[in-house]
A and B are shown apart, each in its own frame.
Chain A
Amino acid sequence: MYLADFHLHSNFSDGKLSIPALVDYYGKRGFGAIAITDHFCEQTSLIGRASTYLGVTLTTATFPIYRELLKSEQERAWDQYGMCLIPGVEITKNSILNHRSAHFLVLGNLENIDPNLDISELSDRVRPEGALVIAAHPVSTQKIEKQTFHLWDRREELAPKVDAWEVASGPYLFDEVRYSGLPMIANSDFHSEKNMTSWKTLLSCEKKQEAVLQAIKKQQLDFQFYREETVREPSYSTLPWIMGPQLGHYGMGNVDSLQAISK
């Protein structure tokens, strides 16, 4: 059994660490598999284009270098730590409205990525090539940040196009996802060391990309809360009165339990 985390950001988008530093950070902590998934904002929206100007997203220009660096770090991660590094990207469609915003991860194959495509079009394009599509933080993350509900609103229609839905994206379990019967995955949405304390996915398959992706697809996985000792307690910055009544029933999740929950 080993820990895995499939939603990490580097300084190619809005993460703090470089890709080599992320590999070292997770490698030194004994993780068996990680995926680096930088934001790639759609360029058809004003917010997406603004992100490009601010340098907080991958662009068509930086994407080739990103892919090459992931390729070479994949080798190093394996040689140095016996860790499987999966190339990924977080397709980022932001709108002012939370219900029009969607983030989803593509893992495993970055050959034909176009951030302007709709999730179902992109899914049809990349899944036959062995990539996985994962709905990122589909419900409230219980943090004061931009929320992305669009995929969850369309979950019945999208279910056949999505391989897994994040049941955690940080220290809180999402009860709606947990009891929905949809396939799940737990990630940290790592942007800096302070995000390390989080739910992670637990795998027991071979540490090879195909095996790991298959395990996610077949849901041969478990979840475990991981606490990074050097960093202070996960902050309960959730202020329900700011989040609005719509979030009231979302529950806090089993934050402090270290025991794995089974599906």
Chain B
Amino acid sequence: MGWGTWIAFKQFQNRREEEPSSLAPVSILKPLKGVDEGLLENLESFFKLNYPSYEILFSVTENTEPAISVVQKLLSKYPSADAKLVCEPQNTGPNPKINNLMTAYELAKHDVILISDSNIRVKPNYLLNLVPDLRDSVGIITAVVAGVSAKGLGGWLEASYLNTFFARWMVLTKKLGFPSVIGKSMLFRKSILKRLGGLKTLGHYIAEDYMAGHGIQKLDLTVELMRSPIEQFIGPYSYQNFWARHLRWGRIRKSIAPLAFLIEPLFFSTFSGVAGAISLNVLFGFSPLTVWGLHMALWGICDGLIYQLMDRFSWKALGAWVVREGLAPLLWISILSGNTVSWRGRDYRLLKGGLLAEGRTT
């Protein structure tokens, strides 16, 4: 665990050694659904990028979509920007995000594509720092996501999750050669994805990001992490939201990689603390409560350090951390106990050992 913290530090302090390759023009795809707090500012940050050539394609599935007015506001504020709104959903499979994006993807002018979720907010040099790393041997660049501007219990729990457990998980799995791809931010070349049948193939899957990473590796190309975390604007977020999202995502994860899911508790502070306390007690007769307390304190310090890399650590963050560490085992058990997920008004049954889900309207 300490090792993971150390790697996280190294990952983000990593400076580029090689000369950057060319600044290829980029098509940025933004799937939109609903208007969450901060949406305007999130989207606007993409109009202010220092980058020679890029376009932004906003994509919605319905003419009545409330996010349209936000986009129109921005289009009139930045009339010279190469940006447009697309509303032409396609049906490629059970993945609503891919169905939303398909037309925009086909319309994209440039080979380099960035798919970026609506709650991501970036700094002006974002593309300048990101694109040069897309070398020939690289298939996809994803990013560690830092949760910022949390409100509400769910929001703070989400931030705590993203800024400790998940950040460490991302850099560790990358280090171990099993990198995860996060759909919130994926940079790749259209010409490479075409070798796997294009974005359409990913529409078969509910976890399109995982399959993108899987497919890219079958081309002998690598999955890379961006050198610095990107910021996800969390905003107000209820506890129920947090629980439902993690239940859904956990069950998808379980169906994709059941063995990895089974060993997840080893990475829970509480559980590994209990295991450590029991074994040290049996082996050396140490007091289990002291060992457990020390373990939790040490773990907390490491998590605090990682958190500080991602966002400013605070008393609220500490409180959220304590609650989330306590919740993690309960969440894990409840993920274990079922195989269905609900997602945007539909119930999906996850198929055994695979990723395909059968859609069923509720």
> Which residues of chain A have a CB within 8 Å of any CB of chain B?
10-12, 18-21, 43, 49, 52-53, 59-62, 64-65, 67-69, 71-73
Can you give 16 A-B contacts (C-beta < 8 A)? A11-B218, A20-B219, A61-B353, A62-B214, A64-B201, A64-B204, A65-B211, A65-B214, A65-B215, A68-B195, A68-B197, A68-B201, A69-B197, A71-B197, A72-B196, A72-B197
- Given A53-B259, A61-B205, are A69 and B353 also a contact pair (CB < 8 Å)? no
- Given A68-B201, A72-B194, are A60 and B218 also a contact pair (CB < 8 Å)? no
List the A side residues contacting B218 at CB < 8 Å.
10-12, 18-19, 65, 69
The answer for the CA separation of A72 and B356 in the assembled complex, in Å, is 23
- B220 A72 Cβ-Cβ under 8 A: no
The answer for the CA separation of A65 and B355 in the assembled complex, in Å, is 12
The answer for the CA separation of A52 and B351 in the assembled complex, in Å, is 12
Cross-interface CB contact of A69 among B196, B258, B356, cutoff 8 Å:
B196
Cross-interface CB contact of B215 among A10, A20, A69, A73, cutoff 8 Å:
A69
Interface size on B, residues (CB 8 A): 21
- B204 A69 Cβ-Cβ under 8 A: no
- A65 B220 Cβ-Cβ under 8 A: no
List the B side residues contacting A11 at CB < 8 Å.
218
Classify the secondary structure of B's interface with A.
loop
List the A side residues contacting B205 at CB < 8 Å.
61
- Given A11-B218, A12-B218, A18-B220, are A65 and B354 also a contact pair (CB < 8 Å)? no
- Given A11-B218, A53-B259, A72-B195, are A65 and B201 also a contact pair (CB < 8 Å)? yes
CB distance from A130 to the nearest CB of B (A): 21
Nearest 7 CB-CB pairings of A with B:
A68-B197, A61-B354, A61-B355, A52-B353, A72-B195, A65-B215, A18-B220
CB within 8 Å of A: which of B198-217?
201, 204-205, 211, 214-215
The answer for the CA separation of A24 and B215 in the assembled complex, in Å, is 18
- A20 B353 Cβ-Cβ under 8 A: no
List the B side residues contacting A18 at CB < 8 Å.
218-220
